[in-house]
Structure 1
Amino acid sequence: MTIPSRDRQPGRTPADAATLLCCGGRRVGRYVHRPHLDHRLAPRPYLHPLTTLAGLPVTELMPADHPHHLGVSIAVPDVAGGNFWGGRTFVRGQGPVELDNHGEQRHAGWLLRDPDGFVEELSWYAAGAEVLRERRAVAVAPAGDAAWALGVSFALTNVSGAPLSFASPAVNGRPGAGYGGYFWRAPRADRPPRVFTAAAEGEAAVHGRTAGWLALAADDWTLVFAGATDATRRDPWFVRVRDYPGVGSALAWSERVPLAPGATLTRRVVTAVADGRLDRAAAAALARRAVA
C-alpha cells in the first residue's frame, strides 16, 4: 500500500512531494522526497516532522541558527569539492566562505513504498553532473509501548567515472567539525538535552568518539542512536547540545574517505524515539531492542 501526499507549507511553492510514515497505525513522520528549496541549502530529501508516539516533535526544519539543517537527512559538506550540506563552505586558510558549489540530491524513483517504510533511488549532482547514485532504505518499527525505531540505510555508488572522496570541515582545517553523513537536528528547548553513552556523559566526552549507542534526552522525549553495521559503528558521533541540539554519524571525521569509480559506501543508523526522559539503563535496553 502506498500513501502519497502533497502538502503545501508556507514559503514553498509549488507544494513539496511527501510520503507519510506510520507505526502501529499512528502517524510518526513525513518524508519529503521532492523538496523545493533554495540551492544554498543543498536541496535534498528529508524527514520532518518526526514525532514520538504521543505526538511530541523531535525534529526541526530550517531553524534560524542553521537554515540548512533539514530535520533528518543525509548531508555531506564535501564530496569532491561539492557542498551537499548547505550553507557556507569551510576553506583552509580562509574559514567559512560563501561559494557557488552546492550539490543537490534528486529523487529518482521508488523500489518500495509502504506506510512503514520505503526503498528509494536518488542521484547526487554537483556542478550539473551526476557524481553519486544512492539506494536509500527507511523503515519504521515498534520498539516497546512508548517508543518506535527509525532505521535509515544508504548505499552511495561512485558513478562519476573518476575517483572521488568525502570530507568534512575538520578534514579541511576546522577542528572538531567532523560532521557529514546521517544527521538529526532536534528541536530547541528551554534547557539543553542530556547526552550520554554507555560509558560517557556530556558533549565534550562523547563528541568525536565512537560508541555502540548514544542518547539525547530532553525533558519529554529521548532519542537513542545506534550504528547498525560494523562500518557505521566505526564512525565517530558528531554531537551538539550547547549551541543547538543535533547528532550525526560522521563519515569523514579526520581524513578524506576515498571512493573509487564504481565502488559503493554503505552505512546504517537506527534511532529509537521514546516518550519521556530515559536514564542510562533504559536507553541501553532500548538500543538493544531497536537494532535486534
Structure 2
Amino acid sequence: MTIELYTQTKHMKFSNKLMMVLLFLAKISLGQSSQVSSNLKDFEGIWLFIPPEWSNDTSFFAFDFFNKSNKLTLYYRKNKITVHSLGPDIIGFAPQNKEIQKLSDLVEVGTRMYFFTPNPKAPNDSIKYFEEASPSCLAMYNGIAGEEEFSPPEKDKPNYFTFNFNGRENEYHQQIHHLPNPVVQALCRNSTEKIKVEAFLKIRYAMIKTIKTFLYKEPSVPSKMYLLQNDPVEVVEEKNGWLKIRYYPEKNGEWIGKTIEGWIKRSDVE
C-alpha cells in the first residue's frame, strides 16, 4: 500500500467514525427534545398556524383554539373572505407505559397528544366508540430546544408550540392575542360558525352596521372617538340597550398593540 493510499484510507475511517458520532449525538438530541413534557394548560388560548417556508399557499389562515381538553380549528380563506371550523375535538396526552383504551386514560401532561371526535351516542368512554380525529402527534410547548427562528418567550412564558404528526415535518403555531379583524368580520357574516367559535372561546363578537358610531365613556357620556361601518368588536358587557365593546385597531393588516374600549348603542351593531 502506498503512503498516499494509506493516508486516504485512514482519513476515510476517521470520517466514518466522525459521522457515526454525529449521528449518535443527533439521535440523543432528538430523544431529549421528544421527552420534554408539555401540559394542556400551556396550550390554552388562540394560536396561529405558521406555514413552512416552502409553502406557496398563502390563501388561508389557520387558527387553533385550546380550551382545557378540547381543541377547535378555524380556517379563514382570504380570497373568498370565508371561514369554516373543524371540531371541537377531545384531546389529551398518552400516559407513560400505558396503552390508551378509553378517553379517561388521557392525561394532562405528556409528549404524545391524541385527538378524538366527540360521540354523544357512545355508551361509555371506550375509544372504540370514538373516531380518532387525527393521528397521535408529538406536541411540544415552546417548540424544540435550539430552534432560533421564533421570538423569545414573553414575560417568561413561551409563546409558540410544535406539532409533529407521525414523523412528518414540524408544524409551528404562534400564540396571538386575539383574532384579526378580517377573521372576525367573516365570522359575523356566518352565524353558524360565529356561534360555534363564541361558545368555544366564551367571547361575543359583533360588527358595526352604522356609517359612524360614537364611543361613550359611560352610557350617555360621549367621547370624541368613533368606529366605522363593518368594524368588528368584542362585546364585553350589555346593559339597558348599551354594549361595552373592545376594538383592536390595525394598520396594514397588523394589530398596533393598542385596545380601545367604550360603550355603544345596542342598535349600532349587527
Higher RCO, 1 or 2 (CA under 8 Å, sep at least 6)?
1
Taking structure 2 as the reference length, the TM-score comes to: 0.30
Larger helix proportion of the pair: 2
Taking structure 1 as the reference length, the TM-score comes to: 0.28
Structure index of larger Rg: 2
Larger strand proportion of the pair: 1
